[in-house]
């Protein structure tokens, strides 16, 4: 069953078209990495899913029901932009308010549980306005987790988190998806982090879905490459460039040769041309590079 099924979604803000027939399918229990450039329509899509803005056309179904269905909407947790908290209330009171909003009875143990999950139990009495950006993000996640949601929609949830905060967030989200069957839609520009947890990806561009794939499909389509350093880098690059279709120099000063299977082949090629290789390794491009490549191809 699909947690989210979006068909031909359009949204216009006056003359500007934010979504131009977007299609999206999120299987139940998936951690769906929603990726795209600024202004590509990610946040607009998420806001429509959450009922915060209204579509101009198309359909949105959540767990097989229309997204305006009150029963299904009561099971959505959300963190969009910043957590919706009252600055002068304590963290605890903000949580209590959200628990009341969800119609929870005996909410205290549940609040303690979600605050513990995001390692914020010690800050419950702090005023929300006195919390750091990272703490606020964690509180937002805790708030979204209240009421055992079936679907979590998180917009840039790891913004402002330190390395430890990111690790905690990763553990929490993976636990929710794997052990509790929660479906998570997460948009982030920190693709390296997203890559560690996402089971599915959706890449959006210009208000349209460019491609959707599973983590396995991404793995299969990510090209391997050989990265090397040689004594004469310029000549090595020239020789390899004349033999292979794609040769680039990366930021770390390595020459990358794509689409070859063995490093021996590259070393032999350079050796035959009198160039000695000083360092060599094989690797695969990650989500970030795949995404950048895809964006470049899209612009061509």
Partner 1 sequence: MEKKFERNTFGKRLGSMLKVDFRRMFTMPLVYIIVAACLVIPVVILIMTTMMDGTVSVDPQTGAETVVEGFDNVWQIIGSVSGGSSESADASGMGAGMSLTSMANINMLYFGIAALVCIFVAEDFRSGYAKNLFTIRAKKSDYVISKTIVCSFGAALMILAFFIGSLLGGAISGLSFEMVGFGVGNLIMSVLAKVILVSVFVPIYLIMSVVAKQKLWLSLVLSFMVGMFLFMMIPMLTPLNATIMNVLLCLAGGVLFGAGLGAISNIVLKKTSLV
Q: Are strands 151-155 and 76-79 parallel, antiparallel or unpaired?
A: parallel
| Binds partner 1 by CB under 8 A, chosen from 12, 17, 23, 73 | 73
Residue holding tokens 């009198």? 274
Closer of 70 and 163 to partner 1 (Cβ): 70
**145 contacts partner 1 (rule: CB under 8 A):** no
| Binds partner 1 by CB under 8 A, chosen from 8, 39, 86, 221 | 86
Closer of 123 and 153 to partner 1 (Cβ): 153
Q: How far apart are CA 100 and CA 155, in angstroms?
A: 24
**72 contacts partner 1 (rule: CB under 8 A):** yes
The window from 31-39, 65-73, 194-202, 239-247 that contacts partner 1 (CB under 8 A) reads: 65-73
CA angle 185, 189, 224 (to 5 degrees): 95
Q: Which long-range contacts (CB under 8 A, 24 or more apart) does 159-165 make?
A: 159/133, 159/188, 159/190, 160/132, 160/133, 160/134, 160/136, 161/134, 161/137, 162/134, 165/134, 165/137, 165/138
Closer of 101 and 224 to partner 1 (Cβ): 101
The window from 95-103, 170-178, 226-234, 260-268 that contacts partner 1 (CB under 8 A) reads: 95-103
- Residue 178, helix vs strand vs coil: helix
Q: Which long-range contacts (CB under 8 A, 24 or more apart) does 215-222 make?
A: 218/287, 218/290, 219/284, 221/290, 222/284, 222/285, 222/286, 222/287, 222/289, 222/290
Closer of 156 and 195 to partner 1 (Cβ): 156
Helix (H) or strand (E) holding 100: helix 91-101
Stretch 255-274: interaction string toward partner 1, x if CB under 8 A: --------------------
* Sequence-ordered strand ranges (E) for 87-159: 151-155
Stretch 8-37: interaction string toward partner 1, x if CB under 8 A: --------------------x---------
Measured in whole angstroms, the distance separating CA 75 from the mean position of its chain's CA atoms is 21
Q: How far apart are CA 281 and CA 184, in angstroms?
A: 36
Measured in whole angstroms, the distance separating CA 223 from the mean position of its chain's CA atoms is 21
Residue holding tokens 């612009």? 299
**136 contacts partner 1 (rule: CB under 8 A):** no
Closer of 96 and 205 to partner 1 (Cβ): 96
Nearest approach in angstroms of CB 94 to partner 1 is 8
The window from 98-106, 224-232, 263-271, 287-295 that contacts partner 1 (CB under 8 A) reads: 98-106
The window from 43-51, 219-227, 238-246, 281-289 that contacts partner 1 (CB under 8 A) reads: 43-51
Stretch 146-165: interaction string toward partner 1, x if CB under 8 A: ----x--x------------
**108 contacts partner 1 (rule: CB under 8 A):** no
**215 contacts partner 1 (rule: CB under 8 A):** no
Contact residues for partner 1, defined by CB under 8 A: 1, 28, 47, 50-54, 63-65, 67-76, 78, 80-87, 89, 93, 96-98, 100-103, 143, 150, 153
């Amino acid at each position: 069953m699909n947690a989210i099924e979006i068909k031909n979604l359009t949204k216009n803000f006056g003359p500007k078209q934010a979504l131009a027939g977007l299609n999206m399918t999120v299987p139940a229990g998936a951690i769906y990495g929603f990726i795209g450039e600024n202004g590509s329509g990610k946040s607009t899509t998420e806001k429509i899913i959450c009922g915060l803005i209204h579509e101009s056309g198309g359909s949105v179904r959540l767990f097989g029901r229309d997204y305006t269905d009150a029963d299904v909407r009561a099971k959505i947790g959300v963190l969009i932009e910043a957590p919706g908290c009252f600055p002068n209330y304590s963290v605890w009171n903000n949580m209590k308010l959200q628990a009341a909003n969800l119609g929870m009875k005996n909410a205290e143990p549940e609040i303690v549980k979600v605050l513990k999950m995001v390692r914020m139990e010690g800050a419950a009495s702090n005023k929300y306005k006195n919390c750091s950006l990272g703490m606020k993000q964690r509180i937002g996640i805790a708030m979204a987790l209240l009421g055992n949601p079936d679907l979590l929609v998180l917009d840039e949830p790891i913004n402002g988190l330190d390395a430890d905060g990111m690790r905690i967030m990763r553990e929490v989200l993976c636990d929710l998806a794997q052990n509790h069957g929660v479906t998570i839609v997460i948009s982030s520009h920190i693709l390296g982090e997203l890559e560690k947890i996402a089971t599915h990806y959706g890449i959006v561009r210009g208000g349209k879905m460019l491609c959707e794939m599973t983590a396995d499909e991404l793995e299969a389509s990510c090209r391997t490459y050989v990265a090397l350093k040689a004594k004469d880098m310029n000549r090595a690059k020239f020789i390899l460039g004349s033999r292979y279709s794609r040769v680039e120099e990366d930021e770390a000063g390595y020459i990358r040769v794509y689409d070859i299977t063995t490093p021996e082949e590259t070393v032999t090629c350079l050796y035959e041309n009198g160039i000695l290789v000083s360092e060599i390794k094989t690797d695969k491009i990650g989500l970030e590079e795949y995404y950048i490549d895809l964006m470049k191809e899209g612009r061509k």
